[in-house]
Structure 1
Amino acid sequence: MGFDIVFKRIYWRDVAPYVWIAGMAVLLILPQLILHSTIVGSDAIFHFNRIYNAAKQMQNFNFSYFQTNYGFQQSGRIINALYGPYFAYLSGVLLILVRSWYHFQIVSTFLVYLIGGIGMYLLATKVRATKQIALIAALLFMNVGWLPRWGLSQNLNSWGAALAPFVLICAVRMISDHQRPIKIIPLALIMAIIIEIHILSTILFTLVLLPFFMIGLWRANDKIKMLLDTILAALLTILLTANIWGSFLTIFANNSIAEPAKFALEQNALQFSMILGQRNQLGAVCLILFAAQLVYVLVSKQATTVNRVVTVIGALILFIASDLFPWVTLQHQLPFLQSTLQFPVRFTIIAYPLLFCGAAISATQLRLSSERHTGYYRFGALIAVLLCLAPNMLSMALKAETYHSVDVLNSWTGVTVLADTPDQIRSSLHAEHPGQLLTLVEKRHPDYLPIPSEFKRLNFKRSDEYEKQIIDRHREFEHKVLSGGRLQLTWNAERRDYRQVPLIMYKESILQLNGHRLNSYQYDETNIGAPVVPQEIGRNTLILQFKQPRSFTNLLILSLVSWLVLSCVGVGKVVYQYKKYYKRG
């Protein structure tokens, strides 16, 4: 009876926008569904290794938070602990459920589009745009920028783009709700989720929240309360993400870690295009829409404060993201940005939802003052959506078609292919044993490799060294994952000498050779931290284990308990609201 009452209160006009958003998400992955293909883009193999490692840990109930025992050539290197650990485990759960990379990609791509579309719709309705206009903003947002990049290239920045509207809902509340500009749990929750997925996105979101916070503090009725609520939200975020900060403290306190790959900033800034509207291109539809929106808020007296703030900040960030910004000069002055920021176009994950939000406000105002022209607005909106949708679907179709070609992979950058035929790779992408693919296509990825002190000043290409020392050698050894997250390598030797093994060592790593623990003076390390150990004639057994500090374990427990408590609070609120709803009916 209670459910009947709830369903009676759900009207089609309330559900319809979400159905349209879900429909757009299905439409965007339709080429892939029709061609039954898996798109292996530039970051696919890297993330597939991370996710596979997490999935195998859960399947075998043999956890090692730091040491990679199942992915990345079973080298023991550290990846997930410093790069979206909880997201990797959640993705691992999805992989366990769907079994193949094809199904994983279909489901996860659908989720990215769905989350991003719903977020943009909620953001637009938050600023009092009509439901129709909010839906149009959501459909446009789903087809531009970084959001499509998860399906097309498996760039993790796509998840940051999908969650950006939820961050901006908190930002808009800061400047529009003078009574309660900060809601502690929503702000802490969304920031914690993003930190657990993509640290760089978190930094960008924190930067964009600052001007909203300053304006909100200036306009708040109770400034002290806003400050206290902000501090509490920050503390709750720190508790929820204690595992991340613990990982960074553990690794960077005692290890020198390699920088990510360097990229020329200007070449990876936003460019203007008449047709395209993905990652590095701002298409004509968005260019015209954003330009008109900026002009409107600058000249119209009807523009609200919220509209002006989101538009001006969005336009400024869009300018910074573009090749109009002096990135060459900035790169010369701050060269570290080449390996930290890498792609200035990343700023568009903030700029686009801000500008779409402003456009939704303006469109709502114009529609209310010109009801006679509603039909023209709808037609124009339909054309705009189709112009953004067409190149996006074309890109999806072309990349999906590559799967059936000789290449199979959409990106061969930084990969070593060991398959004898393209059919082997195709088969592994649909196989219910996802590990097959990772033995046929291996990624030369240098991120988070350690740099032993004697090699710090040397300039060498770590991806090439990783291929020589790990990828080319790991098949010479038998790998076995032992209880307690330990990794065992065995091999036969015909003579007694030193041998480099395909493992990665950190200061916290422990080596045990043939039943005896090795001290640091008993083995050498290569320029990427691979140990060179003394082998004996005959059978040799080497065990690698990461000694996890007790301080980190405490922080990990603190994080998990914080998420558990917050989940209980959330469930309690849902139950309370349902009972309240039920009594009212």
Structure 2
Amino acid sequence: MKEKLKEKFQDDWPYLVIIIATYLMIQGQLNTRGFVLNIDTWFHYNRFYDISKQIRTGNYSYFQMNYGFSQSGRIINAFYGPLFAYIMGLLVLITGTWFRFQIVSYFLICLLGGSGMYILVKKVGANKLWSLILALLYINISPLQTWFDHTNLSGWGSAIAPFVFIEAVNMIRDKKRPIHWIGLMLGMTALLQTHLLSSLMVTLALIPFAITGFILTPQKKQMILNLTKAIVGTICLTANVWGALLTVSVKNKLATIRTHNLVSNMVEVSTSENIRDAILVGVVIIFLVQLLYVLFNWKKSILNDVVTLTGVFFLYISSSLFPWQLIQRIFPILRSYLQFPFRFLLIADILLILGIGISVSQINWKEKQPLYYGVLGCIAIVLVESCNLSYNRLWQAANNNYTPLYKIVSKKYYTTTSEYAQRKYIKYLQGVNSDSEAYGMKYYPKGYHYIKSFTSDSFFYRNTNDFWSLKQAVFTKKRKENLFNLVIKVNPDYLPVKNSKISYHQVNYAFEKEVIDQEDKFKKAPLKDGALKIQWIGKKEGQRQLPIVMYKQSQLVVNNKKVTPLHYSLIKSPTIFQKKGHNTAILKFIWPTSFKILFGVSIISWLGLIIYGIESVIRKFKEAKKE
């Protein structure tokens, strides 16, 4: 028994180190019981909260958001990583509080991303020590870190992507069977069920590997067949994702995604940042050394050549060296759908770290011990610097920077001479301690107020001055829904609109005015069949706008009669005829037959995959028993 445990420890100790490294990274937050509240925190936690309530109550609704996002009936989770949302919703339910959920999610993302990178580097021949060092470097410099202080879902894309690149390595190394179609299918499915943009970038990065593998393999027909299997299998397993997008987007006009200047969001070299739009000088140096090694040892390893050059290409297009000013002029749509060129770091970091792993596995270190210690020392220095920056950044994010929160300093309005002249401003603190200014503040009952800020991404917020109540929402199991009652972030994502040319800010304003402002006048309750019940008291007969949104496939029943709204607002909030006294409306998204079929295909595909997996485990167990 002791020998088995010893063997198990010798095999698995790197994973334990990854867990310990994660603990050290978040120790500052644990000690102070700080909590990261960022702009994206409200968006994603709202999604997960909706799912957790569905699981807890049994009131499932695949399309409509009946608990989150002001119970407006809008659609988000069906488009945005639905399977991942259900997993996170279950985790919210299990952990109980937002603080515990946040901490557990940190451990999970680092264990997933670190393990994936460790396995990937080990696969190309690096020993355990090198594989572990490079895995630790990856979790500290890659976009995986965006989950920690930005609650950005590309972090989870970065955690899953290394597993997909295991199959990229097989494409070149395994000449008899370049496409391991089940592994490739599972990896791409996981990405598509989590973060669509990450899956698109990974798909682009796989192209050089597939072309090289096709040239090298004598089994070209088999490779094409297995690639087809992987593609078809992925399409079937993710039919619920692309099926939902097609179902809604074909028949509805959805709000315009906010545009960003690509030139302002490129990667820059930094001495103090290692995340999102910045890359450390030390990291750039080791990446350049890796490129030089490959160029001076050209064709020594075709895999290393493809890995490194592809990684350098993605690093190049993420940077200011790439002509993004020209590109966005030719393809303005990229300002909405790519938004940030620095996102390409997701690919660059994985491949260049993998390239370093290949290089260190090729060198005969016994003959070049001084070089060995020199290389190890340089990477260790970069790793220590990255770990220190990760620790400090997370500590600051958790304890000093509640960016979507505003605390009023002065209620007196004044006029500024800045570029925003002719507007009246009030002074406020953004987050905990940074001075700033805003305009358009207005008060509501219970201490709530709105601030319209040109510094904020979402233009309108409902805020509270009661930071203590907010902390209770974070640390108390029964009050976690208060996180969204005390502070409301307006997101235009996937909202239906009458006109696709309506601006981002117009959509925000309409949602704030027509949905959020009306919440106290209506009572909403989710139903078992996925519908949402809205109740209110009408003072007199006449027209009444409801604080919900409707899609083409939405059905509205008012006072037991199916109705067609008298008219719609800019964001498709319906106006109906109310009677005097008690009124009831039922909002339900009706699944088209086409989506029912696609959803069925996805479920059957997953069941088939699970059965296949169980059979494989049983078969291997029987074979091992015979031996």
TM-score, length-scaled by structure 1: 0.94
Q: Distance in 1 between matches of 2:604 and 2:92?
A: 25
- Root-mean-square deviation (CA, aligned residues, Å) is 2.1
1:137-286 to structure 2, matched below 5 A, reads 137-286=134-283
Q: Distance in 2 between matches of 1:302 and 1:184?
A: 27
1:551 counterpart residue number: 594
User: Does the alignment pair 1:440 with 2:483?
Assistant: no
For the Cα contact (< 8 Å) 2:307–2:352, is it kept in 1? yes
2:295 counterpart residue number: 298
Greater share of strand? 2
Q: Which of 518, 535, 542 in structure 1 is aligned with 2:585? A: 542
TM superposition shift of 1:389 = 0.7
User: Does the alignment pair 1:63 with 2:60?
Assistant: yes
For residues 520-579 of structure 1, give each alpha carbon's deviation from its aligned partner in whole angstroms, at most 9, with x where no partner exists.
Answer: xx4211111111112222222111111111321222122122212212322333343344
2:385 counterpart residue number: 387
Q: Distance in 2 between matches of 1:129 and 1:10?
A: 20
* Segment of structure 1 superposing worse, 297-306 or 506-515: 297-306
Q: Which of 548, 573, 578 in structure 1 is aligned with 2:616? A: 573
For the Cα contact (< 8 Å) 1:144–1:279, is it kept in 2? no
Look up the equivalent residue of 2:291 and give its one-letter code.
Answer: L
Helix, strand or coil for the counterpart of 1:143? Answer: helix
Helix, strand or coil for the counterpart of 1:485? Answer: coil
Alpha carbons of structure 1 residues 458 and 135: separation in structure 2 relative to 1, 3 Å: closer
Q: Which of 84, 87, 106 in structure 1 is aligned with 2:84? A: 87
* Segment of structure 1 superposing worse, 406-415 or 367-376: 406-415
Q: Distance in 1 between matches of 2:96 and 2:80?
A: 23
Q: Distance in 1 between matches of 2:376 and 2:625?
A: 38
User: Does the alignment pair 1:483 with 2:528?
Assistant: yes
Q: Which of 468, 475, 479 in structure 2 is aligned with 1:423? A: 468
Q: Which of 134, 144, 150 in structure 1 is aligned with 2:131? A: 134
1:310-459 to structure 2, matched below 5 A, reads 310-366=307-363, 368=365, 370-373=367-370, 374-402=372-400, 413-414=457-458, 416-433=461-478, 434-452=480-498, 455-459=499-503
For residues 63-96 of structure 1, give each alpha carbon's deviation from its aligned partner in whole angstroms, at most 9, with x where no partner exists.
Answer: 1111110000000000011111111111111011
TM superposition shift of 1:323 = 1.7
Q: Distance in 2 between matches of 1:541 and 1:564?
A: 40
Q: Give the fraction of aligned pairs with identical amino acids, expressed as a percent.
A: 36
Q: Return the structure number with greater relative CO, CA threshold 8 A, min gap 6.
A: 1
Alpha carbons of structure 1 residues 576 and 545: separation in structure 2 relative to 1, 3 Å: same
Q: Distance in 1 between matches of 2:279 and 2:597?
A: 46
Q: Distance in 1 between matches of 2:364 and 2:604?
A: 49
Helix, strand or coil for the counterpart of 1:45? Answer: helix
User: Does the alignment pair 1:473 with 2:518?
Assistant: yes
TM superposition shift of 1:377 = 4.0
* Segment of structure 1 superposing worse, 75-84 or 557-566: 557-566
Q: Distance in 2 between matches of 1:286 and 1:362?
A: 16
Q: Distance in 1 between matches of 2:165 and 2:305?
A: 15
Helix, strand or coil for the counterpart of 1:64? Answer: coil
For residues 16-37 of structure 1, give each alpha carbon's deviation from its aligned partner in whole angstroms, at most 9, with x where no partner exists.
Answer: 2212112112222212211112
Look up the equivalent residue of 1:482 and give its one-letter code.
Answer: L
Alpha carbons of structure 1 residues 235 and 39: separation in structure 2 relative to 1, 3 Å: same
TM superposition shift of 1:412 = 6.2
For residues 104-160 of structure 1, give each alpha carbon's deviation from its aligned partner in whole angstroms, at most 9, with x where no partner exists.
Answer: 111111111111111111111111112211111101101013111111110000011
TM superposition shift of 1:392 = 1.0
The unaligned stretches of length 5 or more in structure 1 are: none
TM-score, length-scaled by structure 2: 0.88
Q: Distance in 2 between matches of 1:60 and 1:38?
A: 27
Q: Distance in 2 between matches of 1:116 and 1:289?
A: 21
